[in-house]
């Protein structure tokens, strides 16, 4: 790590307390109506904060976080990248779209290796989220890869579909499976054999993250690699059967399934094959990548490990080099806020529960694992509950608050950052009473936390990474449908200054976004922001 030293801010008066950055994950500012879980919840602390003099709104989607269009919802990964990097980088979907549009993805070493194996007779397998949610993946990108396989002359392709129901409608699987099955059928001519081989809901098949529940990955391994799972003749039959058997079933929790014919599974992964994990987002791609690549793997019994060439759409962990092979280069994010603060000797503390721990560490630090400087930093993970979050909507907010209050009282750290995951993770369940409880839990914890910041004479900066709980359902033909995806709403940004030594005022930037937060934190800590950063949301008043 080599960064230019930060300069001290003129006329800044130091104070003993910490600067505490609080990310209320999934708390957006939406219309004031009953389907807004933030507005309809009892939130006296948040209501009070939004009336503060140093309060504004930040854009947290689309171009503000490096996504292709203003129709693209933000997410926690790109949100925390922007918060920690201080500027906007082209992100996942946009990077992949550029690589496909230019053809660069098909000229890289990894794709050439895929084609080499496929032309030698190996099956090319694609595993990933079948969706146009544009958060983890996009079906159009899968189509482009499949079409290129056909154009190149690959004879056998298998798709292992992970059903979404989270970043898109809860029961929208057939919107993607039906056109995919038709496309594969149209390509299965001139000796080609392209078909879906297995699948399952994203929350029970393959897409675990942060080592929360390896059983999810094992379920995927059994279906994709071993061909073990409930048998169906097609993916559309599988989805239709599950819907009929359990009308309350939603896509993300659908049991794993395997497509069989008279000879058995149509698409087990075998020696000599190629596997591409086509998600571009990293958090839920790392564990399955390790299952394919790690020689000393021990998270579960793989039973057999076929000799395959495995590649990700992107490299999901640049420090740990996971996976070793990938189709599209990830954004190179250097000179993060964490690097600058360590260079300035600032002590830092980061904490969240498992579901968002990587966001206040890995993503905040520019997609880099581990500490920047262990002598100056401490990262704390509170293990998340292994249940659906509507059952325990309070999650680990109280435990996080306990730890942060204790840390504030210790006086050891000048900069503290934390993430309350409740409003996002519970928002994804679509269970209205649970969403409101989640929002109210965060509000109650904010009250405790800000009391500790006040007692220490510090400063709190409260924001969110994207919206979610601010829209709980949509209505069509007088029928309510749970809205479980992120929103396009702005998020709050509030500074609560409890020491008053510096007369901060808003700078009134036009269309501010999450990338403006890093410079703002620099100013609150007494430093001139790096010249490459987006400008600060506050300045010290000259009056």
Residue 488 tokens read as 């396009």
Query: Rounded CA gap, 219 and 453, in Å?
Result: 44
CA–CA gap between residue 543 and residue 533 (Å, rounded):
26
Angle at 64 between CA 63 and CA 66, to 5 degrees: 55
Is residue 382 within 8 A of residue 396, CB to CB? The reply is: yes
Distance CA 158, CA 65 (A): 33
As a whole number of Å, the CA-based R_g of the chain is: 24
The SS3 call for residue 300 is coil
**Cα separation of 198 and 220, whole Å?**
9
Q: Count Cβ atoms below 10 Å from residue 300 Cβ, excluding itself.
A: 14
Residue 142 phi/psi, 5-degree rounding, is -60, -45
Half-sphere exposure of 36 (CA within 13 A, CB side): 15
Residue 112: CB atoms within 10 A of its CB come to 11
- 449 contacts 25 by C-beta, under 8 angstroms: no
- Among 7, 40, 48, 76, the active-site one is 76
| Cα distance from N-terminal residue to C-terminal residue, the chain | 38
Judge whether 400 and 23 are in contact, CB under 8 Å: no
Active site residue 110: no
CB 118 within 8 A of CB 274: yes
| Rounded-to-integer distance, Cα 296 and Cα 280, Å | 26
Listed as own residue / partner, the contacts of 321-327 with beta carbons closer than 8 Å and 24 or more positions apart are: 322/286, 322/289, 322/290, 322/293, 323/277, 323/289, 323/292, 323/293, 324/293, 325/109, 325/110, 325/113, 326/110, 327/99, 327/105, 327/108, 327/110, 327/111, 327/276
The catalytic site residues sit at 76
């Amino acid at each position: 790590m080599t960064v230019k030293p930060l300069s001290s801010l003129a006329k800044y008066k130091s104070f003993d307390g910490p600067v505490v950055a609080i990310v209320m994950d999934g708390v957006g500012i939406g219309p004031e109506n009953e389907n807004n879980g933030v507005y309809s919840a009892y939130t006296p602390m948040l209501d009070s904060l939004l009336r503060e003099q140093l309060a504004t709104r930040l854009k947290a989607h689309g171009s503000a976080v490096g996504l292709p269009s203003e129709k693209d919802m933000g997410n926690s990964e790109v949100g925390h990248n922007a918060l920690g990097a201080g500027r906007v980088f082209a992100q996942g979907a946009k990077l992949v779209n550029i690589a496909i549009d230019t053809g660069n993805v098909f000229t890289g070493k990894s794709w050439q290796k895929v084609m080499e194996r496929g032309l030698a007779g190996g099956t090319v397998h694609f595993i990933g989220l079948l969706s146009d949610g544009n958060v983890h993946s996009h079906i159009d990108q899968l189509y482009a890869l499949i079409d290129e396989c056909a154009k190149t002359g690959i004879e056998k392709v298998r798709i292992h579909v992970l059903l979404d129901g989270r970043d898109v409608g809860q029961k929208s699987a057939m919107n993607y499976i039906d056109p995919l099955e038709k496309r594969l059928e149209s390509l299965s001519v001139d000796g080609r054999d392209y078909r879906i081989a297995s699948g399952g809901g994203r929350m029970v098949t393959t897409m675990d993250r942060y080592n929360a529940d390896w059983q999810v990955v094992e379920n995927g391994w059994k279906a994709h690699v071993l061909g073990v799972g409930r048998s169906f003749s097609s993916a559309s039959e599988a989805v239709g059967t599950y819907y009929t058997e359990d009308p309350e079933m939603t896509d993300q929790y659908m049991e794993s399934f395997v497509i069989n014919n008279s000879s058995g599974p149509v698409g087990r992964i075998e020696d000599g094959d190629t596997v591409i994990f086509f998600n571009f987002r990293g958090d839920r791609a790392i564990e399955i990548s390790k299952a394919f690549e790690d020689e000393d793997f021990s998270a579960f019994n793989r039973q057999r490990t076929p000799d395959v060439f495995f590649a990700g759409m992107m490299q999901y962990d640049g420090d740990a080099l996971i996976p070793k092979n990938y189709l599209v280069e990830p954004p190179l994010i250097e000179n993060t806020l964490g690097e600058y603060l360590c260079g300035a000797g600032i002590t830092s503390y980061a904490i969240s529960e498992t579901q968002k721990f990587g966001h206040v560490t890995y993503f905040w630090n520019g997609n880099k694992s581990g500490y920047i400087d262990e002598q100056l930093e401490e990262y704390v993970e509170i293990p998340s509950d292994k249940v659906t979050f509507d059952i325990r909507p309070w999650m680990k907010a109280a435990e996080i608050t306990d730890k942060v209050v204790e840390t504030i009282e210790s006086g050891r750290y000048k900069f503290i950052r934390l993430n309350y995951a409740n409003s996002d993770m519970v928002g994804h369940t679509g269970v209205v009473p649970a969403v409101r409880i989640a929002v109210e839990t965060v509000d109650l914890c904010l009250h405790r936390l800000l009391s500790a910041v006040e007692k220490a004479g510090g400063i709190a900066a409260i924001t969110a990474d994207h919206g979610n709980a601010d829209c709980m359902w949509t209505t069509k033909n007088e029928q309510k449908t749970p809205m479980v995806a992120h929103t396009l709403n702005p998020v709050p940004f509030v500074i609560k200054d409890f020491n008053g030594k510096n007369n901060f005022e808003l700078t009134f930037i036009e269309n501010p976004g999450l990338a403006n937060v890093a410079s703002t934190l620099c100013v609150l800590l007494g430093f001139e922001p790096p010249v490459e950063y987006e400008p600060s949301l506050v300045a010290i008043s000259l009056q």
